[in-house]
Structure 1
């Protein structure tokens, strides 16, 4: 991996008295804004569990909104077995999407804003109805979906070498970076999402493939999981929101000059280029 932080300020050390929810939230936003990678906080503060990570995530959402970003949806992370095995964390996460994370179609990967971007293909939902847990099923979740799209998420992490525990990654908004959707939107009734396939192409070579079944058995299960998880935190999925259901395959690196495409069976193709060094 290319070191993108050679001239960047060093990552912060624990304040006097140790890390807190507030100081970790501030440090994560600083690392994001200044493109600084750091070791996971749990190296120093093992008490950073999943619940505390979500508390930090929600605090930083409010900070994003306070600085002018708009909440537009949610994303799931680590919904596929491939991603869970790679990262060593064996259950999914829910995180927030804001309008600052939208990557306009045709724009390159924003290298000047990211530390070590990777790309993964996603099945994306646009919600027609509000979806509130607990107890939401796959069928109920899919009934609330207005349209289905192919997409790609440009994930990033504020942690060096993408090394983290559950609490660390929840605090880091599930490695959010940017996302783009493809050219084709269809009604859920027009698709068998468990069988919707994707081929991942890097530099003209197919390097990975999967179907929607890689995402919790069916992307609707991931959507239901998100609704039920958010309910435990006092939130719901709102009508009009975008939901990224999680990477179907392992993520591929997106360095400057790279060319990546995600080819879906029925949902078209998403093309990304690595752009120039930031």
Structure 2
């Protein structure tokens, strides 16, 4: 199994280096082998850290019940956020930085305290959260055509790409995450919308699940970590020249532009 894990990690790393997506890696493993998929993700994490980048937080994926049903799972997944994935609000993504980008709007939590317990509650998340910010996650897949199952996406760092946090910071005294409304625009066109309850009923539910899962793996969330809690609406494909702005009620706006001429 160790050799197969390394083979899958090499396929994904080669796809990134070449800028060419690879076929699905799920056939290398037994059906639904999530432990093997996370082992592949861990190898990628070790390589990124060895290259000098820092782990700055985690992202939560598969928080939509509809997407869970599509992939045949009943739980979210997670991936790592690295320092080289962070973008400035209202910044620009260079052409060729990503392979198959899609954009989704989320609430980001930034922790002010550790969450080391193996049975984290929403109350624990509330107590540990320093502030919230509007966020865009630019998801990507090293798997050709986004032909993914749960095994593929977990192994591929939960289909992570880049992320950007808005400049406005609010506390949980200011904003209740489950109550927010989100609109995502491409230029002036409304392309996605949703509410906080579209993320596992409450983005804080997702954060509590993540904290519990990581603590049980011996990799707890720490003060200063960024947590992308999951999409508030459907993700939207992006092409060169696109400019996206997410507006999240009570939190404000966050914007990113893809370099190149608009279609």
TM-score (norm 2): 0.93
**C-alpha distance 84-110 of structure 1, shift in aligned 2 (>3 A):** farther
**C-alpha distance 34-104 of structure 1, shift in aligned 2 (>3 A):** farther
Aligned to 1:69: 53
| CA–CA distance in structure 2, aligned partners of residues 135 and 74 of structure 1 | 18
> How far does the alpha carbon of each residue in 1:21-45 deviate from its partner, in whole angstroms, 9 at most, with x for none?
1121122122123222122112344
| CA–CA distance in structure 1, aligned partners of residues 245 and 17 of structure 2 | 27
| CA–CA distance in structure 2, aligned partners of residues 66 and 18 of structure 1 | 20
Instruction: Return 5+ residue gaps in structure 1 as ranges.
Output: 1-16
| CA–CA distance in structure 2, aligned partners of residues 201 and 25 of structure 1 | 35
Give the length in aligned residue pairs. Answer: 261
| CA–CA distance in structure 1, aligned partners of residues 137 and 146 of structure 2 | 16
Give the superposed CA RMSD.
2.0
- SS, match of residue 46 in structure 2: helix
Give yes or no for contact 2:104–2:235 (8 Å, CA) kept in 1: yes
Aligned to 1:123: 107
> How far does the alpha carbon of each residue in 1:89-112 deviate from its partner, in whole angstroms, 9 at most, with x for none?
543111111101011223223331
| CA–CA distance in structure 2, aligned partners of residues 79 and 70 of structure 1 | 25
| CA–CA distance in structure 1, aligned partners of residues 97 and 241 of structure 2 | 16
Instruction: Return 5+ residue gaps in structure 2 as ranges.
Output: none
Aligned to 1:242: 226
**C-alpha distance 101-167 of structure 1, shift in aligned 2 (>3 A):** same
> How far does the alpha carbon of each residue in 1:139-172 deviate from its partner, in whole angstroms, 9 at most, with x for none?
1112110000000000000111212122211110
| CA–CA distance in structure 2, aligned partners of residues 180 and 271 of structure 1 | 8
| CA–CA distance in structure 1, aligned partners of residues 102 and 72 of structure 2 | 17
The one of 267, 270, 273 equivalent to 2:251 is: 267
